[in-house]
Amino acid sequence: MLSRLVRQILQATVYDVAIETPLEAAPRISEKLNNNIRFKREDLQPVFSFKLRGAYNRISQLPASQLQRGVITASAGNHAQGVALSGQKLGIRAIIVMPETTPDIKIQAVRRLGGEVVLHGDSFDIANKYAIQRAADEGLTFIPPYDDELVIAGQGTIANEILRQWRDIEYVFVAVGGGGLIAGVAAYLGEVAPHVRVIPVEYDESACLKAAFEHHERVVLPHVGLFADGTAVAQIGEKPFEVIQLQKSDQSGPIVEPDVVLVNTDEICAAIKDTYDECRSIVEPSGALALAGIKKYVEEHQLTDKNIVSIVCGANMNFDRLRYIAERTELGEQREAIFAVTIPEVKGSFLNFCRSLQGRNITEFNYRASGDHSAQVFVGISLKDGEKERHEIYDLLKPEFDVDDLSDDEVAKLHIRYLIGGHAHIENERLFRVEFPERPGALLTFLERLGPAHNITLFHYRNHGAAEGRVLVGLETTDVRQDPDSLIKTLEAISYPYVEISDNVGYRRFLK
């Protein structure tokens, strides 16, 4: 299979529409990490993503009879634009099925490229099943985003270019969603340059390859985080996983590193800023995954003076996400720490608190008296020495104050810092994080299905430009004596993803 894939990579037709993207030096990040880093700029493709390569390679090799009937796919992202532009280039009908929740900016981008957009269903899975069924009913050709040899081969042309552009490479870091990109890169390098290590990087809320490695088979993740929406896939592709497994088990040593690098939201945001600082390009979260993985891997493995490639795989960023990303970058780069601190409610206590920080800069200070001669403080503190300094500050404060480090607490970073207001002391209140689909009517649906038996005591939502809205909601159950589980039953019936977090530290300190 691998030799066949390499032949298909060498015979790929991608350059009818795609460009050979540059492999650019990244001197700032190279100096920072003490390694020689270069960016493979797939964000410079005509559709700002590598996906065009695989889509066109698959479509362009269809028989004339199938081309005449047209093609169909399901996607709300970069694959959709790749298929649309391929159809425009070949002069054929290209139908793109997108969930009804798809932001208008993505719909218009596909239409501008000549794609025929069909909105169907609330999720990708529903849209995908509809597209496959319609392909069968109408004789259209379904173009999968990653689970196809010719698609994989199209993506593998990136590895061919990298090797011609820099023969001394030692590591290539690749973002993983469905696996088409890493499969193509690994297939080519495994045969042509087996000394090169291919390192998979996944968002920690959609790590389907890591789960497959751990279970020794493809598994379906019960939940997928959508911040890095370009790689938000619940199950690694069948054909990509087959290729990855072959390379992982190579007797001469694993071409694909079996230990997947997992990165979180803050680390991705920091990598987006790093990329901007380096080349003034604003990449999407999935486009920054590889660099985020490099930063983490280099530190963990103490790598120095290595030749490393980061595949910048996409730059289809919604503008309204930038505010959220900028806020999270400070934490991702370990340039800010946040703490919950109890201080005495007396004159001069704020001054004494600042003195205890020994000259460090306070970036945020939310203060609320508790009514028991003390006050709860939510404080942000600027860091110069990252995590080491963060722990030093905690150790400084601990002997004098009741303190909790909230720097790694997702609820505190996304919600609590905007809700400081005092304790409600509601006996039957329970706290939940709920994911709303980002579409009109989602809130009304939630409220109507919640019904009158459950009183909303707290509600915080803040749009950050993703396909889902993260909501913090407090609920008071009025019929708890009759049915203690009624609230959970109601939430299950609503079917929005949720998790109870009534024991969250920030909630208990500032709001409960």
Tokens describing residue 175: 């973002």
pLDDT of 441 reads 66
- Choose among 242, 286, 144, 254: nearest CA to 189: 254
- Choose among 485, 512, 500, 493: nearest CA to 434: 500
CA distance 424 to 412: 18
CA distance 74 to 315: 20
Cβ neighbours for 417, distance < 8 A, ≥ 6 positions apart: 338, 364, 366, 378, 380
Greatest CA span in the chain, whole angstroms? 83
- Choose among 257, 204, 260, 200: nearest CA to 232: 204
| Burial readout 440-464 (b: 16 or more C-beta within 10 A, e: otherwise) | eebeeebeeebeebbeebbebeeeb
Return the number of other C-beta atoms located less than 10 Å from residue 10's C-beta: 13
Q: In what order do the strands lie in the sheet with 374-382?
A: 362-369, 374-382, 336-344, 402-405
SS3 256: strand
pTM here is 0.79
CA distance 386 to 123: 39
> How many Å separate Cα 415 from the centre of its chain?
19
Give start and end residues of each alpha helix (H) in 91-236: 104-112, 124-138, 149-165, 180-192, 208-215
Q: How many residues does the chain have?
A: 512
CA distance 446 to 234: 25
SS3 285: helix
pLDDT of 9 reads 96
> Locate tokens 């088979």: which residue?
217
Q: What are phi and psi for residue 50, nearest 5 degrees?
A: -65, -15
40 forms beta bridges with 23, 311
Written as tens digits, the pLDDT of the chain (512 aa) is 668 999 999 999 999 999 999 999 999 999 999 999 999 999 999 999 999 999 999 999 999 999 999 999 998 789 999 999 999 999 999 999 988 877 777 888 899 999 999 999 877 778 889 999 999 999 999 999 999 999 999 999 999 999 999 999 999 999 999 999 999 999 999 999 999 999 999 999 999 999 999 999 999 998 888 788 889 889 999 999 999 998 875 555 678 988 999 999 989 999 999 999 999 999 999 999 999 999 999 999 999 999 999 999 999 887 878 888 887 787 667 778 899 998 887 777 777 887 888 878 888 888 777 666 787 888 888 888 878 889 999 999 999 899 999 988 888 888 888 887 777 777 778 889 888 776 656 777 777 787 777 777 888 876 655 556 778 888 876 655 556 677 888 888 888 888 899 999 888 888 87
Tokens describing residue 413: 């970073």
Tokens describing residue 304: 């120095």
How many CA atoms lie less than 13 Å away from 30 in the CB half-sphere?
16
Domains annotated for the chain, with CATH where assigned, are 2-48+149-329 (3.40.50.1100), 51-142 (3.40.50.1100), 334-408 (3.40.1020.10), 429-510 (3.30.70.260)
CA distance 383 to 362: 10
Return the number of other C-beta atoms located less than 10 Å from residue 494's C-beta: 15
CA distance 230 to 341: 38
CA distance 476 to 466: 29
404 forms beta bridges with 340
CA distance 200 to 178: 12
Residue 306 in contact with residue 170, Cβ under 8 Å? yes
Q: Are strands 402-405 and 336-344 parallel, antiparallel or unpaired?
A: antiparallel
**CB pairs under 8 A, 24+ apart, for 107-116?**
109/81, 109/316, 110/80, 110/81, 110/84, 113/47, 113/81, 113/84, 113/85, 113/88, 114/84, 114/85, 114/87, 114/88, 115/80, 115/81, 115/83, 115/84, 115/87, 115/88
199 forms beta bridges with 173
